[in-house]
Amino acid sequence: MRNNYLKNKLLVGVTLVSMLAMTTACGNGATVEPESTLEEADESPATLGEDDTEETTDESSEAATDSAEDAASEDSATEEVSAPDYESYTSDDGWTVSYYPDVIEVNEVDEHNVQFIYTGESTDTNMAVISYLEDTTPIEALDELAKGWGSDAEVTKSEGFFPGTSDKWGYWYTLQDTEGTGYSETVIAGEYNGGVLMFEGVFHLSGDDETDMAICDITAMVVDSVSYENFEDQTMYNEFSGTYSAESDGFTYSIVLNDDHTGALHMQDDIDVIWGDDEIIYADGSFTYEIELNGDELTLIDGDNKTVYTRE
């Protein structure tokens, strides 16, 4: 059954960076420019006399070499000391993530539900939750969770490649902070090995850019780092894949929908695309068509124009 009610834009790009998947709910943080560690010399270079040019040059060169080696050694030592340690968590459901144990506490709610709770400076609970659900679909799971947000909640819906993959599909629901409370959520769900894998990001932000950026970045890393032991082929989209064609003015045009949600439009030009439940979007994000899929028919909608393509 298609999810025609899910009216949204596809996440742009053939390779999506979820990969900051959770930070959708964090809003736009200020960019912090790193402080420069280099200082410009105020003094002008000394003028060398003819008699001591070679000797002084050799000494300067040797001193510069020693200084560079010392600096490189110090930089290396600093990198070794400052490099943060992280740990991995592997679920029996076949997924693995990385996290920083100094600021993330792992709480196994049950065998299919794990919380990664941020323990650094914050005003309230911030965490990523990863759950495996049975006997449901991604949209059903998202709708059930979103009921708790209330009927008046402002929810943004989108879809795209699932975290940690470039060929599996997922859906995003984001609860926006419309009242300035700092509270927001992002939830991602996708078909996974006979059930649904869901990522939840729960945020209580303070409004302080430095604190909030740390919360978002560290929480997002958990989701961004996900990998899978065996991510089986998704089957809920099998009925849509194939090549659809239509004739016009003696020409045959076609639309190819691949199982991995990539595809192509073969019209005046050949254009790579990605596709979802309701839309086809150019791989470079420059243009979007609305589509309707019904059995062996694909209707391409371009403004007021509708063209019906039939599966070959």
How sure is the predictor about 27, in pLDDT bands with cuts at 50, 70 and 90? low
**Res 149 pLDDT > 70:** yes
- Tell me the pLDDT tens digit for each residue of 123-140: 889 999 999 999 999 999
Long-range contacts of the stretch 43-48 (C-beta < 8 A, 24+): none
Count CB atoms within 10 A of the CB of residue 290: 14
String of DSSP letters for 245-257: EEEETTEEEEEEE
Instruction: Provide CB contacts within 8 A for 60, sequence distance 6+.
Output: none
Q: What is the pLDDT of residue 58?
A: 52
CA distance 120 to 106: 14
- pLDDT grade for 84, boundaries at 50, 70 and 90: low
Q: Could you give the C-alpha distances from 64 to 67, 68, 294, in angstroms and in order?
A: 5, 6, 73
What percentage of residues in the chain have a pLDDT greater than 70?
73
Res 69: pLDDT:
55
Out of 52-61, 96-105, 175-184, the most confident range is 96-105
Distance between CA atoms of 21 and 29, rounded to whole angstroms?
15
pLDDT digits (tens, 9 = 90+) for 171-221: 999 998 877 888 899 999 999 999 999 999 999 988 888 998 999 999 999
The pLDDT score that the predictor gives to residue 38 is 27
Q: Is 182 left (phi over 0), alpha (psi -120 to 50) or beta?
A: left
Under 8 Å between Cβ of 264 and 270: yes
Distance CA 290, CA 274 (A): 12
CA torsion through residues 233, 235, 237, 241, sign = positive
User: Which residue in 209, 186, 204 sits closest to 123, CA to CA?
Assistant: 204
Rounded to an integer, what distance in angstroms lies between the CA atom of residue 176 and that of residue 187? 12
SS3 66: helix
Listed in sequence order, the residues at least 6 apart from 42 whose beta carbon sits closer than 8 Å to its beta carbon are: none
First to last CA, the chain: 21
Tokens of 189: 């769900």
Output 231 or 81, whichever has higher pLDDT.
231
